[in-house]
């Protein structure tokens, strides 16, 4: 199991803090004192069962001992290493996070900031090159300037200019200088438009919306939905994020109308988290019930949505099932199989690379839409619900994204991983 290198140290620290003797703690956990001693000095691997019992005796969260709390940070650092191309000691990330949690968070934060700045530069570059207002203003300026230059040169360089012509060119010059002023003012106004750094794409709008939803624990009560939540949306920094959030809420309201909260809870107790059975009961689409299921905190369900291009349009992670922060996901996800086979449910047990003691059950479903009717294009949307699973039986091996996937042999790999292959040593 992916125990932290310092699990033993943490156990020991905790025991000493409680003032428990090694022998007593060992007895309560049902293991020998010498075994506990070896564990505490990080010399023995521990089975999940023993970890569970020790965690209980010492009153700490098992997840904190294993990989729960810092998993996101470890993932972030891994991704940072993948992007940087530097030779970081990937096998010791957990060690690093345990020993220097502050520095580790700083490193992850710097990487996020670096990516944000890259995006901002791209956004600014796009704006300079493609912004129609900017190019319009510049064209206006250059035109007036050309007229001024040509006219002024005639006035200055034509020795025997007839008075009629001179008067005419003077008038033109005056007109053009006025236009020049207006053009320059428009340009300054445009560049000064006071768009905050957020508007320039420092944070990806989708991430902003996901951060907001994470802060709400991914759950919005029907009463809140009806309320509109305009004040919370107003707090999002960029207009793109606000518009995404409004789109999200609009759909959530439609979902809530089709599947109201109270009736949904009752049906969920009755049928379990089966999006197809629930959809049948409410005479709606499984996509609706999947989105509703993702909003039930006790299920701890993750949810990903993608469009016809396979681009993830919504990402709610599930514990132990990492979702790529950027770029494409693992092509083995049943999400993509469903995308190619609309209206056919895919129900699979999966094992995420690097999560040897945890597995998930995923349900994927895709549909086609024709928002413009028969004359318009066919759009596809796929969803994959990710549920915790402790069942048995064969599993499908999947990953997050090739670059940070430890799967040693994979028929779907599209680029080498930066991680040492799993199952070796």
Partner 1 sequence: MAAHVLLIEDEPNIAEAIRFLLTRDGMRVSHAAEGRAALKLLRLDRPDLVVLDHMLPGLSGLEILSAIRADPDSRDLPVMMLTARGRDREMAERAGADRFMTKPFSNAEILAEVRAMLGQPRRNP
| Distance of alpha carbon 44 from alpha carbon 48, whole angstroms | 13
What is the C-alpha separation between 386 and 359, in angstroms, rounded?
10
Return the number of other C-beta atoms located less than 10 Å from residue 45's C-beta. 12
Smaller CB distance to partner 1: residue 47 or 158? 158
d(CA 82, CA 399): 15
Give the distance from CA 172 to its chain's centroid: 57
Distance between CA atoms of 284 and 174, rounded to whole angstroms?
69
Backbone angles phi, psi at 212, to 5 degrees: -60, -45
Residue 263, both tokens: 């009736």
To partner 1, the closest distance from the beta carbon of 201 in angstroms equals 23
How crowded is the C-beta side of 255, counted as CA atoms within 13 Å? 25
CB of 187: closest distance to partner 1 in angstroms?
Answer: 14
- Please identify, using beta-carbon distances, which residue of 175 and 319 lies nearer to partner 1: 175
Query: Please, what is the minimum distance in Å from the beta carbon of residue 157 to partner 1?
Result: 7
Closest to partner 1 by CB, 150 vs 197, is 150
Residue closer to partner 1 by CB (options 9, 143) is 143
Neighbours of 291 (CB within 10 A): 24
Q: Please state the closest distance from residue 278 (CB atom) to partner 1, in A.
A: 55
CB of 190 to partner 1, least distance (A): 17
Of residues 166 and 343, the one with the C-beta less far from partner 1: 166
Query: Which residue, 122 or 178, has its beta carbon nearer to partner 1?
Result: 178
Burial of 69 (0-12, 13-18, 19+ CB in 10 A): middle
Q: Are 151 and 173 in contact (CB under 8 A)?
A: yes
CA atoms within 13 A on the CB side of 360: 27
Minimum distance of partner 1 from residue 402's CB (angstroms): 37
Residue numbers of the site for partner 1 (CB under 8 A)? 135, 138-139, 142-143, 145-151, 153-154, 157-158, 165, 168-169, 172, 175-176
Helix (H) or strand (E) holding 351: strand 346-352
Which residues, listed in sequence order, are joined to residue 347 by a DSSP beta bridge?
363
Residue (172 or 254) nearer to partner 1, CB:
172
Sign of CA dihedral 236, 118, 85, 311: positive
Of 146 and 235, nearer to partner 1 (C-beta) is 146
Minimum distance of partner 1 from residue 135's CB (angstroms): 8
How many CA atoms, within 13 angstroms, populate the side-chain half-sphere of residue 135? 7
- At residue 133, φ and ψ (nearest 5 deg) are -65, -45
Beta partners for 379?
369
Q: What is the nearest approach in angstroms of partner 1 to the Cβ of residue 126?
A: 15
Please, what is the minimum distance in Å from the beta carbon of residue 131 to partner 1? 13
Give the nearest distance from C-beta 124 to partner 1 in angstroms. 18
Q: Which is nearer to partner 1, 143 or 243 (CB)?
A: 143
Residues 131/132/135/140 CA torsion (nearest 10 deg): -150
Tell which residue, 243, 240, 408, 404, has the closest CA to residue 323. 404
Nearest CB to partner 1, comparing residues 109 and 150: 150
């Amino acid at each position: 199991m992916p125990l932290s290198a310092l699990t033993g140290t943490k156990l020991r620290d905790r025991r000493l803090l409680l003032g428990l003797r090694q022998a007593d703690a060992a007895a309560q956990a049902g293991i020998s004192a010498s075994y506990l001693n070896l564990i505490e000095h990080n010399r023995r691997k521990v089975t999940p069962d023993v970890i569970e019992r020790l965690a209980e005796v010492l009153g700490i969260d098992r997840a904190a001992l294993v990989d729960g709390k810092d998993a996101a940070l470890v993932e972030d650092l891994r991704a940072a290493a993948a992007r940087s191309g530097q030779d970081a000691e990937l096998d010791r990330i957990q060690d690093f996070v345990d020993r220097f949690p502050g520095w580790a968070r700083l490193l992850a934060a710097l990487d996020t900031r670096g990516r944000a700045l890259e995006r901002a530069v791209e956004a600014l570059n796009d704006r300079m090159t493609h912004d129609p207002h900017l190019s319009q203003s510049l064209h206006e300026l250059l035109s007036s300037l050309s007229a001024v230059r040509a006219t002024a040169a005639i006035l200055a360089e034509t020795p025997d200019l007839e008075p009629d012509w001179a008067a005419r060119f003077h008038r033109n010059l005056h007109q053009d200088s006025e236009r020049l002023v207006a053009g320059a003012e428009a340009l300054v106004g445009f560049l000064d438009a006071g768009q905050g750094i957020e508007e320039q794409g420092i944070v990806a709008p989708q991430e902003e919306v996901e951060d907001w939803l994470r802060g709400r624990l991914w759950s919005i009560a029907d009463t809140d939905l009806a309320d509109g939540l305009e004040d919370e949306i107003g707090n999002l920094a960029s207009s793109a994020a606000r518009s995404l959030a409004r789109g999200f809420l609009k759909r959530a309201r439609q979902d809530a109308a089709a599947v109201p909260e109270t009736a949904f809870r009752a049906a969920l107790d009755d049928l379990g988290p089966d999006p197809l059975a629930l959809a049948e009961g409410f005479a709606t689409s499984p996509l609706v019930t999947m989105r509703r299921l993702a909003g039930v905190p006790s299920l701890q369900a993750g949810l990903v949505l993608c469009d016809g291009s396979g681009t993830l349009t919504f990402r709610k992670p599930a514990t132990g099932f990492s979702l790529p922060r950027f770029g494409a996901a693992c092509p083995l996800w049943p999400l993509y199989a469903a995308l190619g086979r609309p209206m056919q449910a895919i129900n699979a047990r999966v094992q995420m690379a690097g999560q040897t003691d945890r597995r998930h059950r995923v349900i994927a479903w895709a549909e086609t839409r024709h928002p413009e009717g028969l004359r318009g294009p066919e759009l596809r949307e796929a969803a994959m619900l990710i549920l915790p699973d402790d069942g048995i039986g064969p599993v499908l091996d999947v990953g997050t994204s090739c670059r940070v996937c430890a799967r040693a042999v994979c028929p779907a790999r599209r680029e080498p991983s930066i991680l040492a292959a799993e199952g070796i040593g």
